[in-house]
Chain A
């Protein structure tokens, strides 16, 4: 039995209208219908953070958000952050600090890290770790990731002075 619904939403700034099954979660919609495969699926039940994207500018798990529930909303994936200045700083810092190895967690890490930089500009290392605790990495041991975020926070603080 199918229950197709037509939704209209913004994906990375572009208006998209599509028919979706209500059971289709946002990550599958983005990957398989919009071919935006930068959004990764790890655990598919909201624990690992690999699928973290932005809905109306706020981080969310695309694996436990239904695509149909995003009707009328704006979705931004890691691809949509190409021109974002904070994401650009983070990409460079992740590279410099070895904040990734296999890279599977990185799209979600970048989305969450960007939120930490914007929402917690004065975060110390412990606060960075707590704020990033919803994104699992099996390669780095997190030290490089924390250092990368630290680097961007420090650079922004210096720039603001």
Chain B
């Protein structure tokens, strides 16, 4: 199908973009690589009046390390994160995760900010940034605010973004030398959306031990129970408890799939 008619602007300054997005006479949406919004437009699930292309705003395309934090602009592509032409404070986590997102042709256009703003529960960056303990910095008419990614995603395709706001950047804390990372997606075909994702970060030097159950038809579930991560607790009964209240909490097949994904992610950490 073809998208409905809409207007298009490509500002080069963030303030201009925010002005356009603040218009209340039209429904305006920010767009970056359009790898999630593009299909939504073609399927007419999204019918905006105005698209504001933010990919030509230089500051949104920067990656830079500041002390113990990696700051990743919203318009940094998955391919760039995959290729690793930056001082990677995550010790290889970002390139490895990026390489598993969809296909190279999609990664060349798709952006980390677009993926998180779209908030598909199966998205790799939602699981990964939550497990890494990253913050999202949101820019809007009232200035900037930082929110933990774990709080930012509210549900299926639902985030804490308020009208007129866009994601400006992510702040990812540096991992220490002995940090261990585990990540497993259940996919029947390479590059497809995950059916169940497990992500685990154990970083003793920073006192971090965190697991995430993602692609669970809602916001990612953060698990900090040492029994699940280090003990014998990654079992269907316990995962069912953790998924209680989500749309798949009572589904034994789904619970089992998520248990397997998390168990395999944990095995990478404890191996």
Q: Which residue of A lies closest to B55 (CB)?
A: A69
Residues of B within 8 A of A49 (CB): 103, 105
Chain B contacts for A119, CB-based, 8 A? 104
Contacts of B102 in A (CB 8 A): 134
28 contacts between A and B (CB under 8 A): A1-B5, A2-B5, A3-B6, A5-B8, A22-B5, A22-B7, A23-B6, A25-B42, A44-B1, A46-B38, A46-B39, A49-B103, A55-B109, A58-B79, A60-B109, A61-B106, A63-B38, A64-B34, A65-B34, A65-B38, A66-B8, A69-B8, A69-B34, A112-B105, A130-B190, A133-B189, A134-B103, A135-B103
Question: Within A92-138, which residues are at the interface with B (CB < 8 Å)?
Answer: 112, 115, 119, 129-131, 133-135
In whole angstroms, what is the CA distance A135 to B106 when docked?
11
In the bound complex, CA of A112 to CA of B103 (Å)? 10
Which residues 25-84 in B have Cβ within 8 Å of A in the complex? 34-35, 38-39, 41-43, 51, 53, 55, 79
Min C-beta distance of B42 to chain A, whole Å: 5
For A45, A46, A68, the residue with the greatest tally of chain B CB atoms inside 10 Å of its CB is A46
* Residues of chain B whose beta carbon lies under 8 Å from any beta carbon of chain A: 1-8, 10, 34-35, 38-39, 41-43, 51, 53, 55, 79, 102-106, 108-109, 189-191
Q: Tell me whether A38 is interfacial, beta carbon within 8 Å.
A: no
User: Which residue of chain B is the closest to A112 with respect to CB atoms?
Assistant: B105
Residue numbers of A with Cβ under 8 A of B are 1-3, 5, 21-23, 25, 28, 44-46, 49, 52, 55, 58-61, 63-66, 68-69, 71, 112, 115, 119, 129-131, 133-135
Q: How far is the CB of A64 from chain B (nearest CB, A)?
A: 3
Q: Nearest-CB distance from B96 to chain A (Å)? A: 13
B8 — which chain A residues lie within 8 A by C-beta? 3, 5, 22, 66, 68-69
Nearest residue in A to B79 (C-beta to C-beta)?
Answer: A58
Cα–Cα, bound, A68→B55 (Å): 13
Residue contact B3 to A23, C-beta cutoff 8 Å:
yes
Does the CB pair A131–B104 fall under 8 Å? Answer: yes
- Name the residue on A nearest B2 (C-beta): A23
Give the residue of B7, B55, B191 whose beta carbon is less than 8 angstroms from that of A134.
B191
Residue numbers in B under 8 Å from A44 (CB-CB):
1, 42
Tell me the dominant secondary structure on chain B's binding face: loop
Residues of chain B contacted by A5 (CB below 8 angstroms):
8
Q: Are B4 and A23 in contact, with the CB atoms below 8 A?
A: yes
Q: Identify the closest chain B residue to A129 (Cβ).
A: B190
8 closest A-B pairs by beta carbon, nearest first, are A134-B103, A64-B38, A22-B8, A45-B39, A133-B190, A59-B105, A3-B7, A23-B3
Return the chain A residue nearest B34 by Cβ.
A64
Residues of A within 8 A of B41 (CB): 23
Give A112 to B105 CA distance when docked, in angstroms.
8
List, in ascending order, chain A residues with CB within 8 A of B10's CB.
68-69, 71
> Can you name 12 extra interface pairs (CB under 8 A) apart from A1-B5, A55-B109, A69-B34?
A5-B8, A23-B3, A23-B5, A45-B38, A46-B106, A49-B105, A59-B105, A60-B109, A64-B34, A65-B38, A66-B8, A69-B8
Name the one of B1, B6, B39, B104 contacting A64, with C-beta atoms under 8 angstroms: B39
**CB < 8 Å: which of B2, B39, B104 contacts A112?**
B104
Give min CB distance, B196 to chain A, whole Å.
19
